[in-house]
Amino acid sequence: MRLTVIGTGYLGATHAACMAELGHEVLGVDVDPDKVAALQAGRVPFHEPGLPELIAKHTASGRLRFTTDHAAAGAFGEVHFVCVGTPQRKGSEGADLTYVDAAFAAIAGHAAEGVLLVGKSTVPVGTAERLAAAHERVEVAWNPEFLREGFAVEDTLRPDRLVFGVRSSHAETILRQVYAPVLDAGTPLVTADFPTAELVKTAANAFLATKISFINAMAEICEAAGGDVGVLAEAIGYDDRIGKKFLRAGVGFGGGCLPKDIRAFAHRAGELGVSLDFLREVDAINMRRRDKVVEMARELCGGSVLGARIAVLGAAFKPDSDDIRDSPALNVAARLRLDGADVTVYDPEALDNARKAFPLLGYALSAEEALQGADLVLHLTEWPQFREIDPERAARLVARARIVDGRGALDGERWAAAGWHFRALGRPALAGERPGQGLWGGKRTT
């Protein structure tokens, strides 16, 4: 089939490339000519494993093309997918639908009568009904995305489910044709009305955020009572009604989806007369974990970070991504910089984005460079490379062997055995001893 994808950011570029991989002819549309030129040349302006190869493969074959011309897209497409962003409105918790409204208006004005326009963006419930009423000459459907950054290609080609929000059997038939290879592989399909399809996405994000904040609230209790949230999470995770996923306490979630989506969900619920105030506490718990890491840094530096050299391992909001939107790592780093610390950040993929957004922070080209002469190390993005750091070698690089594991991913006993004072959220401190230095509070080694 001939498909268009309106919006070629993270979601749109991934969807376009994967639809080409499924055998469709795809035309990606964006208002940014620089982005279009880069993608047409086979270059992806963000980090997503496996996506550059797909873009290059299908632009080279001609199956995937990109343009700024909505009229050409309207004439080309048998089905149009809208994949634009829905940021948080300025001065409000609600979602800003400016890009969604503009995309639907632009393509509906050029599309053939009766053609299918499919929204994939995360929107407040009621959006699809409103758009369908505003664009009666075309048919609207909603097909929410469930991508994880770092696994977006896999999640598109082999999703754990598909959701079609449709009002006619014709729309469902068309979407079944689009996703035929995925459905033939046994992927479950849920067909729903517009409100339910929209709510599936927001409810899924709200549940994941709630589970993360739940275990972080348990970390707060463990800190107050002397417990170990890692052991607690292991024990409750054996209950298959709960499961082990998303039960690792740490500095909390960030990115361009969960934080703004739970705020928009609570806001929209309030507009409908329903209280989802518990989501505001989910948000508050998440932000408190960042506060806790800053507090731990001050404590480990003797009450003040003024003049302290702090190495921050991580800038992206999660591993396998260069996305720094609402990054807990950079939020903590910037706050410590404002408190007078000399902060050096290293991340395998997100340094360019971090430099643009936080130019006053220091940056290193390797973990070893970041660690050199540090008074304190903060592990804040769970890259596999950071778990593989040799704590004995690292201890020879730093000025003081003190580390806060803000992701609960490091082997604390191994680090303590190498002479580090090891702290993690919701867990007892582990104090090691370095030859000639005494316990962690010893003098600088450089």
Taking residues 173-195, report their average pLDDT.
98
**pLDDT confidence of residue 444:** 39
**Fold adopted by 288-439:** Rossmann fold (3.40.50)
Quickly state the pLDDT bin for 441 (edges 50, 70, 90).
very low
Reported as a single tens digit per residue, the pLDDT across 247-263 is 999 999 999 999 999 99
What amino acid occupies position 263? R
| pLDDT higher than 70, residue 439 | no
| pLDDT higher than 80, residue 332 | yes
| pLDDT higher than 80, residue 437 | no
**pLDDT confidence of residue 158:** 97
Enter the pTM of the model: 0.92
374 is in an annotated binding site: no
Domains of the chain by residue range: 2-192, 202-285, 288-439
Q: Which residues pair with 378 in a beta bridge?
A: 312, 404
239 is in an annotated binding site: no
What amino acid occupies position 230? G
Quickly state the pLDDT bin for 27 (edges 50, 70, 90).
very high
Reported as a single tens digit per residue, the pLDDT across 31-44 is 999 999 999 999 99
Taking residues 270-278, report their average pLDDT.
97
Reported as a single tens digit per residue, the pLDDT across 10-23 is 999 999 999 999 99
Q: Which residues are catalytic?
A: 257
Question: Quick one: what percent of the chain has pLDDT higher than 90?
Answer: 96
Classify domain 2-192 by CATH architecture. Answer: 3-Layer(aba) Sandwich (3.40)
Of 1.10.150.120, 3.40.50.1220, 1.10.1040.10, 3.40.50.300, which CATH number belongs to 202-285?
A: 1.10.1040.10
What lies within 8 Å, CB to CB, of 72 at 6+ separation is 27
What lies within 8 Å, CB to CB, of 396 at 6+ separation is none
**pLDDT confidence of residue 433:** 59
Q: Do 202-285 and 2-192 fall under one CATH topology?
A: no
126 is in an annotated binding site: no
147 is in an annotated binding site: yes
Q: What is the distance, to the nearest Å, from the Cα of residue 408 to the centroid of all Cα atoms in its chain?
A: 18
The DSSP code sequence of 116-158 is EEEE-S---TTHHHHHHHH-TTSEEEE------TTSHHHHHHS
DSSP β-ladder status, 79-82 and 2-6: parallel
335 is in an annotated binding site: no
149 is in an annotated binding site: yes
Reported as a single tens digit per residue, the pLDDT across 363-414 is 999 999 999 999 999 999 999 999 999 999 999 999 999 999 999 999 999 9
129 is in an annotated binding site: no
What lies within 8 Å, CB to CB, of 391 at 6+ separation is 414, 415, 417, 418, 419, 420
**pLDDT confidence of residue 282:** 98
| pLDDT higher than 60, residue 415 | yes
Quickly state the pLDDT bin for 432 (edges 50, 70, 90).
confident
Question: Do you know the residue count of the chain?
Answer: 446
| pLDDT higher than 50, residue 112 | yes
443 is in an annotated binding site: no
